[in-house]
Each structure stands twice: as C-alpha cells, then as structure tokens.
Amino acid sequence: MNDDIIEAKRRLPLPKLMERYDLGKHAKKSARCPWHDDKSSSFSVWEGDKGWQFKCHGSCGVGGDEITCVEIVEKLSNADATKRFLELAGVKRGNTNGTRSATTGPAAKPAQPFDWKACVASFADDHVARLGEWRGYSAAFCSWLRERGLVGLYDKCIAFPVHNDDGEVVGAHYRLKDGSWLYTKGTRTAALVIGDLATANQVHVLESQWDTFEICDKLHAHETDGVAVIVTRGAANGALVAGRIRPDAEVFAWAQNDPENKRDAKSGKTPAEKWLATVANSAGALVRSVPTPAEHKDVNDWGRAGATADDYLAAIGASKIIARRPRPLIEFRSPSQLKGFVPPPGTVLVGDCHIVRGAVFVIGGAPGVGKSRGGVALAVAGATGRDWFGFKVHRKFKTLIIQNENGEFRLSKEFADLDCETLDPWVRVCPPPPFGLCFDREEFRALLARIIAEFQPDIILLDPWNAVAGDDKAKDYLAAFELVRSVIPAGDDAPALGIVAHTRKPKSDERASGRALLNLLAGSYVLGSVPRCVFVMQAASDDPEDRRVVWTCCKNNDGDLGARSAWERANGLFAAVEEFDWDEFDNPNKDDRVTITEADMETVFEKGAKQLTRPDARDALMKLTGARRSAAYAALDTKGRFASHLSESQGVLSWK
C-alpha cells in the first residue's frame, strides 16, 4: 500500500467515509448490511491489524476497506475507486502502482451488461405454473407478470426487475434458495411500481412483492385505471414512496403482522410499524392503514388461507387514516370550480349544515341548564343515528368529549340509563384532567393529538370553553382557538369542533330569543364570529324543579336556523315537550298582577288540613285561579306575601 493511500485512510477512516455516504448507522460492530435486505444484523465494521475493515457475514458476503466501500457505493472499478477515495480524503494523487485494496474477493472483472430480457425469456411456462401454485396466484396473473417483464430468472433464481428513474431496468432483485434476497452487483434498492403513478388517485403500498401480487390478482389493481401499486422491497424502505405519489391521491398501506418479539427495545415498534410510520410521513398524501387479521403474518399468507376479494375490500373499508393530505398555505378556485364543488360524503353530520366536519359550532347556556348533558345527547345521537334536539343526524359518527366539568362519579350517573355497549365504539369522554384543559402545555397538546389520531373522531367537544381560555377578552379567546386548532387536523375531512360555553346572566326584564341570543354568549364577539353555528339552551322557567329547556339555533351560516323547540330532561337525555306555552315563555311577566288571594291559598291547602309539594300546589293554584306558572310560584314563595302562613319542610309546603 503506497503512502498516498495510507495518508488518505488516516484522514478519512472507514467510519467517517460511511457517514459521508449516509451509512453511518451501519458503521459499528453489529449492524444490518446496507447492501442487501438484511434482517439479522450480519454486518460488522472494526479496526484491526490491516486498519479499518468491513464484512457482511450474511448472504452477500462483501468485505474490504475504505476503497472497497467507494467501489461498491459509487459502482466503480478498483482503480477508479482508489482515485476517488484519494479525492474524497483530500490527498493529491501519487503513484499507486496498481495496488489493490484489501478486499475479500478477487480483482474486479470488466462489468458485463445486464440483460433483463434474457432473464424474462428464461422464465418458462413451467415456472409460471409453479409460481401460481407456490404463492396461490391465478395462472392468468402469473402469465401477465411475465408478459409485462415483471418476473424472470437470474442465476436460476426467481427475480424481479429494478428500474432507474427513467424506467429502464438496470438490475434485478432475486431470491436465493435459502430465502434471502440479493440485488445484482451495482444495483441499489429501488421500489417496484405497477401502474401509472402520474394518473393514479388510488395507490396501494406494500412491503413485499408477494403481498402486492396478491392484491393485484384478487382486486385487479394492475389493470384498473387510476390505480397503482408500490412495493418498497422490505420494511426498511418505506421512504421510497417519497415524491412519487400525487398529493390528491389516497394511499392504502398494507403492513405485515410482525411477531411481538421483533419490537425494537428503543422505539417499542416492530419493523412493520416503523415501515407504516415512514410511509405515512413520506407519502405526501392521505394515507390509510389497512388491517390484516392477526392470525395471518401478511396479505399473501391471508390469501393462501382463502381470503377473497370481498375480504380485501372489507379490510380497505375498515382502514384508518394515519396521515392526512397536506394542504398548501393558500389556494384559489374559479367560480366554475366553486359552483361544481361536491363535499366529500359524510361531511354534513347534523341538520341543515348545523354541524359539519371541519367547522366550529357552539352550545351555549346558563350554568346548570344542561349543556353538558346536551353534549352527551349529541354523542348518543351520533352512535345511534337518532335525531338530536329535532335535527336530523345524517350518518353515525364518533364523538370525543374533552371536559373538565364532571368527575367520574357524576359521569357514571350521566351514563347509568344509557345503552353503553352500543355507545362504546363511538364515544370517548375524559374525566377532568389533573391540571385542567392545559392547551398551553406542549406535552398536553402532543398527547391529545395522538389520542385524536388513534380514535379519529368526527366531532370533538370542548366542555367548558372557559376552562380553555384564560379570560373572556377577545385576544385570550383567539389565542385559545389557535392552540386548540394546532391539535385538531385541518381541512374539510377534519372533525367538527364543538364548544360548550356559558351565557352571561340576563337582565331582570330581559328574555332574549332568536338571533338575539348570540349576544348572551360570554365573550360574544369571538364566540359569535368564529363558529359557523351557535345553539343556545335556556331554562323554560325560573322554577328550580322545572326540568324543561328551550333549544334555539341563533346562528347558522350555511343553512336555515330551524325552529326552536322545548325539551324535558328524562332517561338520561331529553324528551320532546309536545305542548309548550310559548307565550308564557316569551312574556314571563305579562300577567304577574296579584290574582291569587289568601282565600285561594286556603282553598288549595284546605285551610291547613292539606300539605302539598311545590309542583302540586303550583298546579292546583293555576287550575283554581287561571294564573300563570310564574304567578303561582310567586305566591308559594315562603318569603313572599304569604310568608306568615307558609312553611316548608323536606320539600312539602304547609299552610297555617
């Protein structure tokens, strides 16, 4: 070894050289080989008597020094790799005397041009039949693979083509008889693509060509317009999808079912789970994870066990979104595009655009009126498909309630009378968090974002809003909205955001109704302007035992308000009130003149011989005198006009 090479190795030893080639993670005593699909950490880098060396103790068996590394990575002859290594190390070229570096193999032979057509031609009819029998594919599909040049024989081993960026076949990925996989010399890992990614609006991504061929064979993905398939050739190569998929496409990722003992101690994930996460981060499009039944290790295993096209379609239907479609910071549409816009199916959840995915709505009301129960009623409506306060539910939906109002004991009573087995797949409610709804804390937002990604709710309900916003000033409300929005996915397919908010205390002579209710919201400027829809719940009367409420939509930007309605809390939810005195509700003080006399009171209480509950006494007075409810309650006030005659004990009124 001449002095120039010695100096170059001193300046640029093998570990640093590998870092330059982005192979630094392999430069250790035990690692996966960077040059074949290594699943057993068979690769080693060490410093010995001959300097730095590397060796794959697995199927590819490559080994050598720094110059060998350059030779492999840059696909150069030994002489050219030596010159290149000196350049990389910053050593001026001297006389190398034709010295070869310390490799484990013979001197490199002149490269022979790779002939993939010969590989395909050698894949005879009996090979086609054996492939179908071995992997469970149809004869027609196996023949299609050969006709399209997607399967062949290399060195008597089954092989699949490796294409460069121009679509030319530059090598092969072939399977040895021991089940391990190699690339032909000088061939780097590349994805196998079936179909036209430039026009595909549906893309299936799989780790293995066996799984890919199963999907193609059963679902005819290889011959369906607008559909393409990507094989990453191993769980370590999920990033190969980057830059290939249209941003408006929908991606279906079919991960394999790795055994639990394959979980990485550091990350806690199996190779398949890492692959899935990498695909989600690299695709640049909407990505769904398609489940394979746990009893099958992968899709091809499932197919050989008898899975049909209907089974695979059902799995696609059960897929979960793991990455949403990225959106530009701003977009523009022409009038014709806007006119022709069709919202995605299931966008409108409730009413005439009252609750819509991706939009904000508010449930307002005075403390104690039943807003939280109204939120639970919404979740129940979503799980059952029943109407909500008279508004039509268009499809079933999931609801995530983030609340700081009721502890688990109160929540247990809230759900005691409900069919919880039916609700379980559709509803999640958090007990009050130990530090409140602390959206200002990064770790709280990160945890919440992960929960949202896992449960994938259609509606997220925040209860109450004043637990999120520190103050009712506009700047505090706007800052709180920004923190909440940073957690919730954006876009038309994002969940609807519901806010449970308090209304301010009305004036004594005030009974707001209709759109005027919007002005009662605490912080009404922000809470009234940001949401697309606002509902307000009011107590039907001042009677503390009156369980009736009035429900009004006072704002709906995208549809009709709808009629107000009256409801009574019953069976854990609300039942419609068929006959409701709207005149009395709108004019509670209209007939408050003194119409109830002492004689009327004596008649109702039979001159003291009869005791009555407050509701019974109220009804009796109204029936006797024709007075309104408010006048009856005023007469029954133990501190009112008849205080010297009335007393109350354990909820029962007495007259003396």
Which CB contacts under 8 angstroms, 24+ apart, belong to 222-226? 222/141, 222/144, 222/194, 222/195, 223/144, 225/199, 226/199, 226/200, 226/201, 226/202
pTM of the predicted structure, to 2 decimals: 0.51
Other C-beta atoms closer than 10 Å to the C-beta of 51 total 17
Of 61 and 428, the structure prediction assigns the larger pLDDT to: 428
Q: Scan for tokens 């769980």, then name that residue.
A: 235
List pLDDT tens digits, range 363-393: 999 888 999 999 999 999 999 999 999 999 9
Between 87-101, 255-269, 492-506, 604-618, the lowest mean confidence (pLDDT) is in 87-101
**SS3 call for 408:** helix
Q: Given a cut of 80, is residue 613 above it in pLDDT?
A: yes
The SS3 of residue 42 is coil
Amino acid at residue number 301: D
C-alpha span between 572 and 570 (Å, rounded) = 5
Residue-wise pLDDT tens digits, 119-133: 999 999 999 999 999
Task: Tell which phi-psi region holds residue 97, choosing left (phi > 0), alpha (psi between -120 and 50) or beta.
Answer: left
Contacts of 589 (CB under 8 A, 6+ apart): 509, 630
pLDDT tens-digit series, residues 522-531: 555 567 678 8
Query: Helix axis angle, 66-73 relative to 3-11, nearest 10°?
Result: 80
Q: Is the pLDDT of residue 647 over 70?
A: yes
Q: What is the pLDDT of residue 431?
A: 93
Which one has a higher pLDDT value, 132 or 465? 132
Per-residue pLDDT band at 68 (split at 50, 70, 90): very high
Percent of the chain with pLDDT over 90: 48
Write out the two tokens for 219: 């679902």
Which letter, b or e, does each residue of 587-604 get, where b requires 16 or more Cβ atoms within 10 Å of its Cβ?
Answer: ebeeeeeeebeeebbeeb
Average pLDDT, integer, range 416-429: 93
SS (H, E, C) 11-28: HCCHHHHHHHCCCHHHCC
- Pairing between β-strand 320-323 and β-strand 181-183 as defined by DSSP bridges: unpaired
Which phi and psi (to 5°) does residue 422 adopt? -70, -35
**How high is the pLDDT of residue 581?**
84
Q: What confidence score (pLDDT) does residue 165 get? A: 85
Using DSSP, state whether 182 is helix, strand or coil.
Answer: strand
Rounded average pLDDT over 21-47: 86
Report which DSSP code applies to 225.
T
Determine phi and psi for 551, rounding to 5 degrees: -115, 125
What string of DSSP letters covers 552-596? EEEEETTS-----EEEEEETTEEEE-SS--HHHHH-TTTT-S---
